Structure 1
Amino acid sequence: MTLRDDAALVLKGYAPEGPEDARGEQAELRQAYLDHLARHDDGMWKACGAGHLTASALVIDPERGKVLLTLHRKLGMWLQMGGHCEPQDATLEAAALREATEESGIAGLTLLPGGPVRLDRHPIPSPCNRHLDVQYAALAPAGAAERISQESLELRWFDYADVPGVADASVVRLLEATRARL
């Protein structure tokens, strides 16, 4: 099975729920992602000019009520960990976990069970143009110590209540959806 096949299966199985999808936005995104994969054989890869799927994970420590965000080097924004899928990624989950581990420096992260937490489509600077992000949540092990990567300007743990003051609405929605699933 290819990564593209896995992505299609994950998306077909993604069932948005709760008040966040009352207007059907997540269901519409789900279908848009599936349509994208059907139209673009290279829809998983950065080279796809029409956009591409990415995988991300919000690193969370529910015991302390904190979330780890990265100050993205290129975008200058506080974001969850994530990025482009790589040829060695067998699944979207593997890509999200790899990105979270690489960017946080935390060994032993585990993804919150139940598949993706939400989907988010957003424009980005050229040459990529658009990310179709499949968002997961990663649980930090007890005593986790972060280590900054070359992709970040800074890493910082934020209390849940502080996230709306530093991050954009997509990160806030991801945190809300993650907390609803915990």
Structure 2
Amino acid sequence: MQSPPLARLLDDHRPQGPVETADHARALPLVGAPDAWDRATPLHFTASALIVHPPTRRVLLRWHVRQQAWLQVGGHGDPGESLPLEIALREGREETHLTDLRPWPGDELVHVVVVPVPANAVEPAHEHADLRFLLATDTPDEARPENPDAPLEWLTLEEARERTTEENLRETLDRAARLLA
């Protein structure tokens, strides 16, 4: 399977509602910019995924220390990376040790969200234009956190909605729920 390029993913994606429409519009000018994935810019792309286990309709959430929230897996592209789905797959494997992750139900974007990120000791506050996918696994019991500060939890969709404090993730969960139905 060839991972779709960034421009095609965003062109093919149809935002749902005014918030995602505005976020999608903010992300579009980054396409083709040489620093679109550069974490030193105030707004840059990241790629993430909600990992699902379709037979049980469960989702995997990860504790993010910097955000102080239960979120999906994902992150920044490494130098030279520019294919969002490949970045989401790599990040998913690194953060969960699941080796069988695959796009589900297809390789399209599920959600585009501009997320504020607070400053820390090494980076100023900035924003991520987060490109979200769904990834599935057949081996949920093999999930292992990448470190002790980033625990993982398999949850029902309802439990995940209650656990997260992020409204944008609740929207991603709602979209996953419709696909898992």
TM-score of the pair, normalised by structure 1: 0.84
CA-atom RMSD in angstroms? 2.2
5+ long unaligned stretches in structure 1: none
**What's the offset of the Cα at 1:36?**
3.1
Q: Does 1:10 align with 2:9?
A: yes
CA distance in 2, matches of 1:78, 1:28: 24
CA distance in 1, matches of 2:152, 2:136: 16
Give the alignment partner of residue 171 of structure 1, picking from 162, 169, 172: 169
Aligned to 1:134: 131
Aligned to 2:43, which of 39, 51, 55?
Answer: 51
- Say if 2:115 and 2:128, in contact at 8 Å, map to a contact too: yes
Structure 1 match to 2:99: 107
Taking the aligned partners of 1:160 and 1:10, their CA distance within structure 2 comes to 26
Return closer, same or farther for 1:164/1:143 CA change in 2, 3 Å cut-off: closer
Q: State the distance in 2 between where 1:157 and 1:143 align.
A: 8
Identical-pair percentage:
24
* Structure 2: stretches of 5+ with no match in the other structure: none
Q: Structure 2 CA distance, aligned partners of 1:7 and 1:178?
A: 21
Q: State which of 61, 70, 73 in structure 2 corresponds to 1:69.
A: 61
Q: For 1:153, what is the secondary structure of its paired residue? A: coil
Alignment size in residue pairs:
172
Measured after TM superposition, the shift of residue 152 of structure 1 is 4.4
Give the alignment's TM-score, normalised by structure 2: 0.85
Contact persistence 2:53–2:140 (CA under 8 A): no
Aligned AA (1:171) = L
Check conservation: 1:60, 1:140, Cα contact below 8 A: yes
